[in-house]
Amino acid sequence: MPGLTDRRIGLLFLVFVSLLGIALLRAGWLGAVKAPGLKRAAATQQVQNIQLPAPRGTITDRHGSVLAVSEAASDVSATPYLIRDKLKVAGQLAPLLNLDQAKVLQKISQPGGFVYLAHRLPAANATKIQTLRVEGITLTPSSLRTYPRSWLASQLLGLASATPGRGTGLEYGEDRILRGQDGIRKIVNDALGQPISIQDQRPTRPGKDVQLTLDAGLQDKVESVLRGVGEVYKPRGATAIVMNPQTSEVLALANWPRVDANDVAGAPTTATQDRAVGYTYEPGSTFKAFTVASAIEDGTVTPETPIHVPYELRVADRILHDDEAHGDETLTVSQVLAQSSNIGAVQIALMTGARRFSTWVSRFGFGKPTGVALPGEEQGIVPTYAQYSGSSIANLPIGQGQSVTPMQMIAAYAAIANGGILRAPRLIEKIGGRTVAEPRGQRVISPATAASVRTMLKGVLAPGGTAHEAVIPGYDLGGKTGTANKVDPTTHEYSKTKYVASFMGFAPASNPKLLVAVVVDEPQGSIYGAQVAAPAFQKIVAFALPYLGIKPN
């Protein structure tokens, strides 16, 4: 038996030596060959570099009323294999994530090591999740952009994006200023996953605050007026801009239909467009003010120059009529503007000459962006003199055959209202607490010409004018109505059923402190600027004049 015992001992010893050899070989292989990879894996598990989102700059109105602000939030993720009682955890998390319990259970039961449960969860809910101390649930710092006034100026403000270079509206246009710089934090954990070292590798740099020239109280009123237009006339869309023409500050910019900035997904895609800069249309008779202003500045006519206005006027292959039939008559330049005579306006343009007229259109800023601080600004379509046909001089002076934006129109009217200076509309008052310099602008017409045109535009709201009902007792007003056919995209001819109704007006006419543009796209029931847009102008101005402390005459 001793021999058998010795053999068994020898066999066990051989097995032990073999296992020890294998272990030594394994250890050597891990230490020499796999060591770099294992070190990297250990470092990945024990060292984390976390990106700390920079607080986005706040957007306020001119009085400091908050329009857009960033709040602390968290991204919530899960490591499913670390979660033991999945049903219990799903029940705890579901109400805090605003998700169905079955949906949460499905996510945390997925195979694999990582899954997102929520992005930008508000801080209040994130804190409650943190106190649960569930193994396998991780919260990463994030931020949530909110719009406290929800509907107010939502198309202008747009939406912020977590990705640089994306977003819409002002949030996109001023993203570089508002975004700031994210920080990086290094966290070293022990073997149990507990942090033993926290170090900020790069500090977070908050975005700069942006203060707008908008007045939230006036903005709210303008949106209310547009809502009334929408309810009565059921248009495709509408926009209104209120400006101080002396400084070119935009005091209100509204669009209809309205959009809830905190729930953009619930609005039609077309409603999110900022029509003030992204919508182009033929301005119609509102353009006649520039036809007259250019002729006066050139010395071709004066307000009292008599203009022969026949029953009809042939220019090349085009025959013109006025809206109301009449026999041959003579009107002064002032009467041509007040009564919105198509034939009279074209006669004035013919006296100016096509080449010179084309120069004036460009000088008033048409055919190029205004430079307002809003992305997506259209430049419109304005034919150059080289593109003129024989009948162009019969179309363009009355606002047909060219397209403009509402922002271009109000900027050009501001030059008439302020004494002849064309400036880029000003939307941003301060950045990071520092006042943004006013645009210098350039003189396009003399103060005398501007004053003459303002006086003539008072006639539009006087008895016999096209907007005589839009008066406000105690104030002298000036303005111009517009009713323009839209071009049918199918036939490429002017539609008989689709129109744009508009009004451009200012107050007080002698020294304007307030300028308002109202543009209504495809109103139903009535199509005329005097009936659709002028009353909206009156309601806005009737509120704005006392609200801004502008005294009666």
In a domain, 130, yes or no: yes
Range(s) of the domain holding residue 108: 48-79+87-212
Whether the pLDDT of residue 507 is over 60: the answer is yes
Report the percentage of the chain scoring pLDDT > 90. 61
Query: Domain with 67 in it: what CATH number?
Result: 3.90.1310.10
Instruction: Give the residue, 523 or 316, on which the prediction is more confident.
Output: 523
Whether the pLDDT of residue 30 is over 60: the answer is no
Whether the pLDDT of residue 414 is over 80: the answer is yes
What pLDDT band is residue 224 in, cutting at 50, 70 and 90? very high
- Of 212, 236, 261, the one marking the end of a domain is 212
3-state secondary structure 256-324: ECCCCCCCHHHCCHHHHCCHHHHCCECCHHHHHHHHHHHHHHCCCCCCCCEEEECCCEEECCEEECCCC
Residue 44 confidence (pLDDT) = 47
Locate tokens 């024989």: which residue? 390
Q: Is 197 helix (H, G, I), strand (E, B) or coil?
A: strand
Q: H/E element holding 45?
A: helix 35-46
DSSP annotation of 99: S
Residues 240 and 334 reside in one and the same domain: yes
Give bridge partners of residue 332 from the DSSP assignment.
306
What pLDDT band is residue 73 in, cutting at 50, 70 and 90? confident
In a domain, 7, yes or no: no
Residue 196 confidence (pLDDT) = 59
Q: List pLDDT tens digits, range 442-466.
A: 999 999 999 999 999 998 887 877 7
Instruction: Quote the Cα angle for 54-108-160, to 5°.
Output: 25
**Max avg pLDDT among 88-97, 104-113, 360-369:** 360-369
User: With the CA atoms of 299, 305, 310 and 313 taken in that order, what torsion angle do they form, in degrees rounded to the nearest 10?
Assistant: 10
In a domain, 281, yes or no: yes
Whether the pLDDT of residue 11 is over 90: the answer is no
Q: Distance between CA atoms of 530 and 307, rounded to whole angstroms? A: 24
Number of domains within the chain: 2
Mean pLDDT of 380-388: 95
Q: Distance between CA atoms of 364 and 422, rounded to whole angstroms? A: 7
Instruction: Give the residue, 225 or 160, on which the prediction is more confident.
Output: 225
DSSP annotation of 466: T
In a domain, 62, yes or no: yes
Please, what's the b/e burial string for 183-207 (b: 16 or more CB within 10 A of its CB; e: otherwise)? bebeeeeeeeeeeeeeeeeeebebb
Phi-psi region of 64 (alpha: psi -120 to 50; beta: other; left: phi over 0): left
Q: List pLDDT tens digits, range 386-402.
A: 999 999 999 999 999 99
Residues 131 and 239 reside in one and the same domain: no
Query: Domain with 268 in it: what CATH number?
Result: 3.40.710.10
Instruction: Give the residue, 263 or 37, on which the prediction is more confident.
Output: 263
Q: Distance between CA atoms of 254 and 207, rounded to whole angstroms? A: 26
Residue 43 confidence (pLDDT) = 47
Closest CA to 368 of 408, 399, 406, 400: 408
Q: Distance between CA atoms of 349 and 300, rounded to whole angstroms? A: 10
Residues 148 and 237 reside in one and the same domain: no
Whether the pLDDT of residue 318 is over 60: the answer is yes
Residues 318 and 207 reside in one and the same domain: no
Q: List pLDDT tens digits, range 283-310.
A: 999 999 999 999 999 999 999 999 999 9
- Of 160, 184, 212, the one marking the end of a domain is 212
Strand pairing report for 210-212 and 59-60: parallel
In a domain, 485, yes or no: yes
What are φ and ψ of residue 142, in 5° steps?
-150, -170
Give bridge partners of residue 517 from the DSSP assignment.
241, 504
Residues 162 and 306 reside in one and the same domain: no
Whether the pLDDT of residue 546 is over 60: the answer is yes
Ordered alpha helix ranges (H), 459-551 = 529-547
In a domain, 24, yes or no: no
Instruction: Quote the Cα angle for 496-478-407, to 5°.
Output: 60
Q: Distance between CA atoms of 414 and 467, rounded to whole angstroms? A: 20
In a domain, 5, yes or no: no
Phi-psi region of 279 (alpha: psi -120 to 50; beta: other; left: phi over 0): beta
Residues 144 and 286 reside in one and the same domain: no
Closest CA to 214 of 248, 249, 260: 249
**92-96, 109-113, 209-213: the lowest-pLDDT one:** 109-113
Residues 311 and 295 reside in one and the same domain: yes
Residue 270 confidence (pLDDT) = 80
Residue 447 confidence (pLDDT) = 97
Residue 47 confidence (pLDDT) = 66
What are φ and ψ of residue 423, in 5° steps?
-130, 160
Sequence-ordered list of residues with C-beta below 8 angstroms from that of 414, at least 6 positions apart, any chain: 243, 245, 248, 422, 423, 425, 515
Residues 161 and 307 reside in one and the same domain: no
Q: H/E element holding 117?
A: strand 115-122
DSSP 335-348: HHHHHT-HHHHHHH
Closest CA to 417 of 504, 536, 540: 504
Q: Is 13 helix (H, G, I), strand (E, B) or coil?
A: helix
What pLDDT band is residue 350 in, cutting at 50, 70 and 90? very high
Residue 201 confidence (pLDDT) = 65
Helix, strand, coil shares, percent, the chain, to 5: 40, 25, 35
Residues 207 and 284 reside in one and the same domain: no
Instruction: Give the residue, 79 or 378, on which the prediction is more confident.
Output: 378
Residues 203 and 341 reside in one and the same domain: no
Residues 189 and 226 reside in one and the same domain: no
- Of 177, 212, 247, the one marking the end of a domain is 212
Burial class (CB in 10 A: 0-12, 13-18, 19+), 124: exposed
In a domain, 30, yes or no: no
Q: Which two tokens mark 250?
A: 């935009």
**What separation in angstroms does the CA of 243 have from each of 48, 181, 288?**
52, 34, 21
What pLDDT band is residue 14 in, cutting at 50, 70 and 90? low
DSSP annotation of 442: E
Sequence-ordered list of residues with C-beta below 8 angstroms from that of 191, at least 6 positions apart, any chain: 46
Helix pair 216-233, 529-547: axis angle to 10 deg: 160
Residues 136 and 227 reside in one and the same domain: no
Q: List pLDDT tens digits, range 140-197.
A: 877 889 999 999 999 999 999 878 888 899 999 999 999 988 777 666 655 544 555 5
